[in-house]
Amino acid sequence: MALTDGIVPDNPKMEGKQNLFRVAIVGGGIAGLILGQLLSNCPEIEAHVYERNSESEDRLAGYRIQLSLETLQQLQSHLPRETWNKVLPSIGKTPKEGYYHSCFMRPDGHIFYTYLPDEFRSTAAVSRLRLRRGLLHGSSSFLRLGKKFSEYEELEDGSVKVHFADGSSCICDLLIGADGISSRVRRQLLPHIKTVQTDVAIIYFKVPYTREVESMIPYKTGSLVLYPNGQEITIMTWQNPDQPYARGLDPEHIGPETSYVMLGFGSRLESFVNPKSPTEMSPQELKSECIMRVHGHPTHPSVKALVELIVTDSCYMNIFRMVDVPSSWDSGHITLAGDAAFNMAPFLGKGAACAMMDAVDLAQTVVRLPRATVHERQVMLRRYVDVMRTRRLKERKRSAFVMNICFFGTTPLRAALRDYGMQVANYWLTSSVSVKILVAVGMFIFLFCGGSLGEFLAKIGRHVENMAIRGPTMAV
C-alpha cells in the first residue's frame, strides 16, 4: 500500500514548486532516511534530509540490529519497490532453529533462563551497513550531506527558518528533528529535557563467523553471560545470506560484509580492570580489557575461546546516555522522530525498530498535512506524538528492565538473588497448571498452617521445582 493511496493531487510537483508543502528533516540516520524515502516522491510535498556528516556511511554501520518481521513488512509495503529490493540483502540468514531467542547463562555455562517472547519467534538479524546502503538508494534527490543544523526560527507566517552551521538556511512548513540522541532540534523545542550520562559502558567487538566459531557459540541465536560482579557479555550473530561462513580468522581486521558474532561487553565504569577512562582507551586496550575480564573469573572454555578471537578493528565503545522522557508537545510545524524524541537502553534491540515505526507513522501523517488547516495540522501532529511516545515508552521500560537485570548482580549475593529469582520466575511461567496448583497449595499450608505437614509439603514442592528447573549446561 502506498502512503498516498486515497490522496489525489490537484497540483502535481511539476506544476509550480511554490505550492508544495516543504518538509525539512534534520538527521540522515535510520528515521531520517526512511522519512526521506517515503516523502520525497509524494505529490504536494518537497522533502529534504539534512545530514551533518559529509559521508553517507556512519560509524555504527557495521553492526547488526534485530527487527521484527512486522517492522520489515511495514517497510516493504511503504518503501519504493527498488529501495526495498536494496534493503532485502541486509536480512541475515535465518538460524537453523528458525527463530532467534536469548538465553541467560552463568559464566560457567549453566543456562538458568531462556527468553522467547512471541515477538522473538518472528524476528530477523539485519546488517546496519546493508540496511543503510539500501535506504540510501536514490537518495541523491533528497539527501543533503555536510549540513549541520544549528537552530531554527519560527516565522510570523507560520513557516520555520532552519539555520545550518555553514551559514546557509532553508525555509520549511514542517521541521522534523531526526537527529538522534543528542538532538539539537529537541534541545530548542523542549529545552527542559535533559540527557543523563549513565555509568554503564558497552564495548562491542566482532568475531568472524566460521564453522569453528559456530561450535563455540553458547546458544546459536543469542546469549547473555551474566557475571557475579555486574559484568555481562551479549553474544548475537549475523550471517550474510550470500556467504554464511567467514573465510578465516584475522585477529586485526574484519570486512564489513563478513558474517560475524557480535560480542557486547557491558559493565559499570567502576568495574573496568584498566584504570584509564574507556573513552581514552585504544581498540587494542579495549580488547585486552575484554580478554582480562573472562580470565579474571571462572568462565566456560568456549566463551573464553570466543573472546580470544575478537577482532581489533571492529571495536566500538559506547557509554550509555539516557534522555528524559518528554510529555507530549503541541506544535503544528516542529516535531521529532526516532532517538531524537527519547532513546532506550541497548538491550532487546528496540531503538532502530522504534525509529522505523516513528518514520512510517509520521510519513503517514505528513502526507495529509498539505490539505489540512493550521489547527488540523496541530491536531494530527499531536496524535502522531501521542502514539509515538506511548510506543517508545513501552519499549524503553522493557529494555531498561532487561538492563537492570543484567547489572543488578554487582556482588555474588545480588547475582545469586537475580539468577535464582529468574530461575523461579522461569519455572513458574513454564510449568503446567497442576504443578502451579501443587506449589501454591504447599505454600498455603506452610504459611497458614505451619507445622510438620506444611514443611513436608513445601519440601516436596522444592524438590519438584529443583527437578524441573535444573537448566541445561552448555556442552564443551
Ligand X SMILES: Cc1cc2nc3c(=O)[nH]c(=O)nc-3n(C[C@H](O)[C@H](O)[C@H](O)COP(=O)(O)OP(=O)(O)OC[C@H]3O[C@@H](n4cnc5c(N)ncnc54)[C@H](O)[C@@H]3O)c2cc1C
Q: Write out the residues near ligand X by the rule CB under 6 A.
A: 26-32, 50-53, 58, 60, 63, 65-66, 148-149, 178-180, 184, 204, 316, 318, 338-340, 346, 349-353, 355
CB of 236 to ligand X, least distance (A): 8
CB of 278 to ligand X, least distance (A): 13
CB of 128 to ligand X, least distance (A): 8
φ, ψ for residue 224, nearest 5 deg: -125, 115
Residue type, 196: V
CB of 67 to ligand X, least distance (A): 7
27/208 with CB nearer ligand X: 27
CB of 281 to ligand X, least distance (A): 16
CB of 179 to ligand X, least distance (A): 4
Q: Which residue is it, cell 577482532?
A: 311
23/457 with CB nearer ligand X: 23
CB of 83 to ligand X, least distance (A): 16
What are the start-end ranges of the E strands in 282-421? 316-323, 334-336
122/318 with CB nearer ligand X: 318
Measured in residues, the chain has a length of: 476
65/439 with CB nearer ligand X: 65
What SS3 state is found at 268? strand
Q: How far apart are CA 236 and CA 223, in angstroms?
A: 7
Q: In the numeric block, which cell numbers belong to residue 111?
A: 543456562
| Whether the Cβ atoms of residue 87 and residue 129 lie closer than 8 Å to each other | no
Q: How far apart are CA 225 and CA 106, in angstroms?
A: 6
310/457 with CB nearer ligand X: 310
52/300 with CB nearer ligand X: 52
Q: In the numeric block, which cell numbers belong to residue 113?
A: 533462563
CB of 318 to ligand X, least distance (A): 4
Alpha-helix residue ranges (DSSP H) falling in 127-166: 128-135
336 pairs with which residues across the strands? Answer: 177
46/395 with CB nearer ligand X: 395
Comparing every residue's Cβ against ligand X, the nearest one is 29
Alpha-helix residue ranges (DSSP H) falling in 68-210: 69-78, 81-87, 118-121, 128-135, 184-189
408: left (phi over 0), alpha (psi -120 to 50) or beta: alpha
149/272 with CB nearer ligand X: 149
What SS3 state is found at 112? strand
Q: In the numeric block, which cell numbers belong to residue 468?
A: 524441573
